Amino acid sequence: MNAEEFDFDKYLAQYDPVLIRRSSSYRRAVTFDEPLLFAYIYRKKALSQGIGEVTFADFHLDLAEYGKTWMVPKQYNATKGNRDIFVAPRNMGKSTWLHNILPLWAAAHGHIRIIAGFANASDRAKERFGNFKSQLDTNELLRKDYPELVTPLMRRRGFSVDDTQLSYRAVSGFAFKAFGVDGDALGMNIDDERPDLIILDDIEEEYSEEERNKRLARIRTSILPMEDRAHVVMVGTTLMPNNLIHQAVKSVKFGEHVAWIEEERFRVHHYKPILLRDDASERSCWPARWSLDTLKDMRGTRDYRMTWENDPMAFEGRYWQDSDFKYGYPTPIVGKLMSIDPAVTTTKKSNFTGIAVIGLNRLTKQCIVTDAEEVKLAGERLRAHVLKKLAADPEIKAVLIETNQGGENWAAILHHLPVKLQYKHQGGTGSNKQVRATRLLTYYQRGAVLHAAKLHTLEERMVAYDGRKNDDLIDAVGTGVEWLLFPSSKTKKNETVYQA
């Protein structure tokens, strides 16, 4: 469906607004076969988050139509159920729709009785399931209209049959179990029934070709056979070359033969950020959120090709080129930040500790890297070096250290500094170094990062970077740049301060 031409007001005009507000039975009746209306009535906040009004992309409208296929019961004479892969730009609400809105709609109306939901790890599965369960616990309108769904199934002695952080069974007969993709889900069976719906949501991570093949084998030999006739939906974003989502993109973009997709009968749906009208003019995939000019401004960067277009060639070849480095020192510069990406040992084989000093011009929204170096120092020697650099540059007002290695021990190592000590733990996609490097390259290519002068070591590392080589100095710059450019994204943990 075309979001640019879709008239949502006209769509809503088919239904009585008074009855929608006042009548539970009316709401249940009109949303029975309308996932889009269900989303508007019961999950309106999710549809308007970050924008202020309800808007849609082509992707969302297509998902609402796709959800209707779940109304068809399992075909017991079929060898395989419907299997679909959805690939779309980042921040498009893929999980919100496919792991929350549509399952809520299908569960509320009894279209789906048993769901098996998978993520790349049990923690992520718990998060996805927690978002679903939160609606059952806190969404007052949903609780009013579907009491059988929101009420846990209880044993005679008053204990719930199954109501945990990873599973739930309702009085209605609905059940949802969440798993890490490598968890034990073999033979999932509830009251002699197997899943009607299997969700594979961001099941990949940064891994080798061998590990990717093991993950695929796990899906094909353990997960899909849980119920061959179940509806299966896989959703994700490209994170590295030739992973499963890359292969799905290549199968439709280049017509490549991908054996597992064809053999398992998956249909691939690939959504691009910039679409063509019938007259060959361009439009945004989600006009209300990203203007065409915004997307065009990003087009051509490696980040755009990888996480927006899900282009499998995004990581093939070098990252930085000499033309990506721009120089200047636009004033005024607010207090500088020293960003440290540390190594925990100082042996010959250990990584360097990367140290970068970065300032921010709030008027131009540009970061200026004034210093960047690599050292092999640890403990008190590293602290002494940091103190020396702070004394030499009194404009440095804070030290930021990545805590993925060493954890909060860094507060004890870098004790009694004359400036604030802040720390950052890289989690989720932030733990993928290729993704972080690609984002940083995008900031360079868009002119959001300048070098105050020629920084030979940093620039040599960037030009030589291929996604595998030493990246500690690049990480130090990237972490500091994002800390300065996006202060609202810091979590309370990240903002912990240790003062001298």
Residue type, 13: A
Q: What is the mean pLDDT of the chain?
A: 87
Report the C-alpha gap between 67 and 161 in whole angstroms.
29
pLDDT reported for residue 497 = 37
Query: Are 95 and 103 contacting, i.e. CB atoms less than 8 angstroms apart?
Result: no
Whether 314 has a pLDDT exceeding 70, the answer reads no
Band of residue 38 on the pLDDT scale cut at 50, 70, 90: very high
What is the strand order of the sheet 396-402 is part of?
Answer: 420-424, 396-402, 334-341, 353-361, 366-375, 449-451
Phi-psi group of 299: left, alpha or beta (phi > 0 → left; psi -120 to 50 → alpha; rest → beta): beta
Band of residue 76 on the pLDDT scale cut at 50, 70, 90: low
DSSP string, 143-161: HHH-HHHHSBPB-TTS-BS
Band of residue 51 on the pLDDT scale cut at 50, 70, 90: low
Report the C-alpha gap between 144 and 150 in whole angstroms.
9
pLDDT reported for residue 336 = 95
pLDDT (tens digit, 9 = 90+) per residue, 181-190? Answer: 987 766 677 8
Structure tokens at 158: 């008053």
Whether 338 has a pLDDT exceeding 70, the answer reads yes
Report the C-alpha gap between 54 and 6 in whole angstroms.
12
pLDDT (tens digit, 9 = 90+) per residue, 370-407? Answer: 999 988 888 899 999 999 999 999 999 999 998 876 65
pLDDT reported for residue 185 = 67
pLDDT reported for residue 318 = 65
Share of the chain above pLDDT 90, in %: 61
Whether 495 has a pLDDT exceeding 80, the answer reads no
Structure tokens at 2: 């075309």
Range 36-46 average pLDDT? 96
Structure tokens at 241: 């070359």
Range 317-326 average pLDDT? 82
Whether 368 has a pLDDT exceeding 90, the answer reads yes
pLDDT (tens digit, 9 = 90+) per residue, 299-308? Answer: 877 778 788 8
Of 496 and 172, the one with more pLDDT: 172
pLDDT reported for residue 491 = 44
Query: Are 367 and 444 contacting, i.e. CB atoms less than 8 angstroms apart?
Result: no
Report the C-alpha gap between 167 and 189 in whole angstroms.
13
Of 199 and 492, the one with more pLDDT: 199
Range 29-48 average pLDDT? 96
Band of residue 493 on the pLDDT scale cut at 50, 70, 90: very low
Residue type, 146: Y
Give, in order, the Cα–Cα distances in Å from 225 to each of 212, 232, 266, 396. 19, 11, 14, 58
Range 406-417 average pLDDT? 81
Residue owning tokens 């943990």: 493
Range 327-346 average pLDDT? 87
Of 434 and 440, the one with more pLDDT: 440
Whether 173 has a pLDDT exceeding 80, the answer reads yes
pLDDT (tens digit, 9 = 90+) per residue, 192-234? Answer: 789 999 999 989 876 777 888 999 999 999 999 999 999 999 9
Domains and CATH numbers, the chain: 57-274 (3.40.50.300), 322-489 (3.30.420.10)
pLDDT (tens digit, 9 = 90+) per residue, 348-367? Answer: 456 788 999 999 999 999 99
Band of residue 310 on the pLDDT scale cut at 50, 70, 90: confident
Query: Are 151 and 171 contacting, i.e. CB atoms less than 8 angstroms apart?
Result: yes
Report the C-alpha gap between 424 and 403 in whole angstroms.
6
pLDDT (tens digit, 9 = 90+) per residue, 92-106? Answer: 999 999 999 999 999
Whether 34 has a pLDDT exceeding 50, the answer reads yes
> Minimum mean pLDDT among 70-84, 251-265, 292-306: which range?
70-84
**pTM for the full model?**
0.67
pLDDT reported for residue 184 = 74
Q: Which of 70, 72, 74, 46 is nearest to 60 (CA)?
A: 46
CA angle 5, 9, 12 (to 5 degrees): 120
